[in-house]
Structure 1
Amino acid sequence: MKRREFITTSIATAGLALARGAEAQMTPAAAPAREFYELRRYHLQSGPQSKLAENYFADALIPALNRMGISPIGVFSLTIGPETPVIYVLLPSSRLEALVTVQSQLVHDEQFMSAAAPFWNAPATAPAFVRDESSLLIAFEGWPKLVVPPSTAQHADRIFQLRTYESASDQDHVRKVEMFHHGEFEIFRKSGFSQVFYGDTLVGPRMPNLTYMLSFSDLADMDAKWKVFGNDPEWKKLSSSPRYSFEAIVSNISNLVLKPLSCSQI
């Protein structure tokens, strides 16, 4: 436990410093409460690990996080991407400290520890997962809070597209974030997209980068709406602006399609 608490404290200190630096750049007049996101990736092996993980999220992790005031929790399986099986878990919170101290708080939750036992205590010869990794993000100023799509409350069929844009330099990254605030949000809205969240990565791999999530009813719906977006005159004007087209401001795109698990609150 001492090692776990040391690591948690170190992450919390680093995360708070980064977040304060990001918030310090905001003017008082443009300072709506911005959420923070932890995006976890659980790499699994085909077989019993998937069921063990799903039970853990549904019966142990989500109820415990909700008791901490962290909600809604998104849990998604990767359906189109470079490797499967992978489960993504999205934790939103208005308080950074709530996210970076999750692990140290969970061990004091007796209800969680009891429900999590099969997953947490799995032996090394039959582990519950291969590895997990996470990124810490801060919401965009122009999209400060996660929006749950209406299809979630309706329990309708839905898929999610998780897109990450990497940039070759901090200058290019800042300009790409700026594009969203200078018209891209509105073009997505006009094209019929259900926009879930936009986050600037504070801690994670392959920085600088940003990640955002969109929701659709199915793949055909996704393809149709991207076609509308690509043909939008305002998008063509924005993307051809010399400020954003003087060089390739996005050097790599990760484009994943996710399906929510039955326990997902998003």
Structure 2
Amino acid sequence: MKNSLILSLLLLSQLSYSKSTDDRYYELRVYYCNPGKLDALITRFRDHAVPLFKKYNIEGLGYWVPTKNSDNAFYYLMSYPNKEARDASWRDFAADPLWKEAARKSEENGKLIAKAETYFLKTTDYSPKFKASKAGELNTYELRIYTAKPEKLPNLESRFRDHTMKIFKNNGMKNINYFTTIESDPSVQPKLLYFLSHKNEAAAKLSWENFRKDPEWIKASTASEVNGKLVEKVEAVYMQGTDFSKLK
């Protein structure tokens, strides 16, 4: 009887864990607009793309514009049940007559987008659950992309899971989501891509200054790099959410 109870509790624990696992398929797109076209792109998203995304089960989570935006960039993050659902949703969206007409009208005076980048993503096991911003809440978001040294991504993830995220929180940074990229070439090591939020850009810079001096961080980073540096390249951008973003 006792053994049966233990087995039942273990099974319930495993079921609970599996339900909390986020196995959705994520996509981050970055659009670089032609000169003077960023506002038109944002209007097209607000008035046409976002409503149609809902129709075709494309869940738009965040829509952002960099605080310093010499590249005329626009970032947005989406999620889907899986890759197959993603492909079907975009096929149907692209064929929608309302979208075709909206796209045509918006580009009567020239193309809006000069180039685009796409990252396909999966959630890490240490990522917080997605939560939309509260009504009236305004934050500065920070997107960071880490290229790890060869074969060092597991070590980097362990450092984030066991130390970095907690130290971020202790220094006033809010952990939003953590992902690794899905690479089409299996020989390419995935990147770590994550989002933080701050009260504003000045607060972000102060938090980073304090983080780098934090004794806990110095101890954790030193211990993790006894066999060499973990990170080869860091890309970072501060962004503000649009009025139609769930994260803002």
- TM-score bucket of the superposed structures, by smaller chain: 0.7 to 0.9
In the TM superposition, what are the counterparts of 1:38-187 in structure 2 within 5 Å? 38-47=27-36, 49-80=37-68, 83-119=70-106, 122=107, 126-143=110-127, 145-148=129-132, 152-169=133-150, 171-187=151-167
One-letter amino acid of the structure 2 residue matched with residue 188 of structure 1: F
Distance 1:221 1:201 in 2: 28
Deviation digits for residues 155-181 of structure 1, max 9, x if unmatched?
333211111101231x21221122111
What residue is the counterpart of 1:37 in the other structure?
26
Structure 1 residue runs without a partner (length 5+): 1-26
| Contact 1:38–1:99 (Cα < 8 Å) also in 2 | no
Distance in 2 between residues matched to 1:258 and 1:204, nearest whole Å: 28
Contact kept? 1:37, 1:93, Cα under 8 Å: yes
Q: Deviations over 1:31-60 (max 9, x none)?
A: 52333321101111221x112211111112
Amino acid across the alignment from 1:147: K
Point out the more displaced range, 154-163 or 200-209. Answer: 200-209
Shift of 1:198: 0.8
CA distance in 1 between counterparts of 2:44 and 2:226 reads: 46
Aligned length, in residue pairs: 230
With the length of structure 2 as denominator, give the TM-score of the two structures.
0.81
Alpha-carbon separation, structure 1, partners of 2:184 and 2:64: 19
Structure 1 runs (4+) deviating above 4 angstroms are: 27-31, 204-207
Q: Give the letter aligned to residue 167 of structure 2.
A: I
CA contact 1:34–1:140 (8 Å) conserved in 2: no
SS at match of 1:100: helix
Taking only the aligned residue pairs, the percentage that are identical comes to 21
Q: 1:163–1:136: structure 2 CA closer, same or farther, 3 Å change rule?
A: same
1:214 and 2:201 are equivalent in the alignment: no
Secondary structure of the corresponding residue to residue 255 of structure 1: strand
Greater CA drift, 57-66 or 97-106: 97-106
Deviations 1:63-112 (A, max 9, x none): 1222333334311112236x511111111234333333332020344444
User: Which consecutive residues of structure 2, in runs of 5 or more, have no partner in the other structure?
Assistant: 1-13
- Is the Cα–Cα contact under 8 Å of residues 62 and 73 in structure 1 kept in the other structure? no
- Classify 1:94/1:35 alpha carbon distance in 2 versus 1 (closer, same or farther; 3 Å): same
Q: Distance in 2 between matches of 1:202 and 1:176?
A: 17
1:9-35 per-residue CA deviation (whole Å, 9 max, x = no partner) reads: xxxxxxxxxxxxxxxxxx999652333
Offset of 1:147 from its aligned partner? 3.3
Q: 1:190 is aligned with what amino acid? A: N
Rg larger for: 2
Residue from 189, 210, 213 that aligns with 1:231: 213
What SS class does the counterpart of residue 227 from structure 1 fall into?
Answer: helix
Of 173-182 and 248-257, deviating more is: 173-182
> Helix, strand or coil: the match of 2:152?
helix
**SS at 1:235 equivalent:** helix
- Residues 100 and 193 from structure 1, CA distance in 2 versus in 1: closer, same or farther, beyond 3 angstroms? farther
Mapped partners of 1:114, 1:162: distance in 2: 33
Q: Residues 139 and 145 of structure 1 are in contact (CA less than 8 Å); yes or no, is this contact kept in structure 2?
A: no
